[in-house]
Amino acid sequence: MSMTTLTRRGLLGAFAATMVTAAPTMSNAFGILRGAGDIRRIRMYSGRTGESIDTVYWIEGEYVKEALKEINHFMRDWRNNQVIGIDPRTVDIAAASHRLMDVSEPYMMLSGYRSPATNAMLRSRSKGVAKNSLHMKGMAADLRLKSRSVGQIYSAATACHAGGVGRYNRSNFVHMDCGQVRTWNG
């Protein structure tokens, strides 16, 4: 399915393969991935550290504790090696979006967790960095794919109806977070 011609029928077909349901414990419930056999997998690499991750982090209704620890380390602030617990809902959104695009290539992660010091430094250099960024809470990721355009990634992420999705065409990435459902162009 071409993401440039994302149709209602195509979306329904993709969702049939990756059924999205509401998280039962959230008062403002959002969609999370339900895959075949109820297994969730995330694949990413970091050009900053040279590291890769390819892990199943959810099996039959349970997050895999060791896999989440790997994700936390992988998504750390690479500038100072600080690690925080990444909100698994952010990983769910990224995994669901990846599956909707039907790609095998891993995401390139540009930014996961950012320490307050890193966020302040980036904010001093760019108007596009939020003062209270969800990156500082482990609730956001900036991602790209070589085989998909920013528009295609953005379309897949917004189709999940599960948090904030920012489209950054000039910088060639999409921001995904598990905060309030909203969209923007950066």
The predicted-structure confidence for 142-172, as pLDDT tens digits, reads as follows: 999 999 999 999 999 999 999 999 999 999 9
Q: pLDDT band at 37, cuts 50/70/90?
A: low
Q: pLDDT band at 186, cuts 50/70/90?
A: confident
Helix (H, G, I), strand (E, B) or coil at 5: helix
Distance CA 59, CA 149 (A): 30
Kindly list the structural domains of the chain, giving each domain's residue range(s) and its CATH number in brackets, ordered by start.
3-185 (3.30.1380.10)
Of the chain, the percentage scoring pLDDT greater than 90 comes to: 70
Q: What is the mean pLDDT of residues 65-82?
A: 97
Q: What is the pTM of this model?
A: 0.79
Among the listed residues 9, 38, 169, 11, the one whose alpha carbon sits nearest the alpha carbon of residue 97: 11
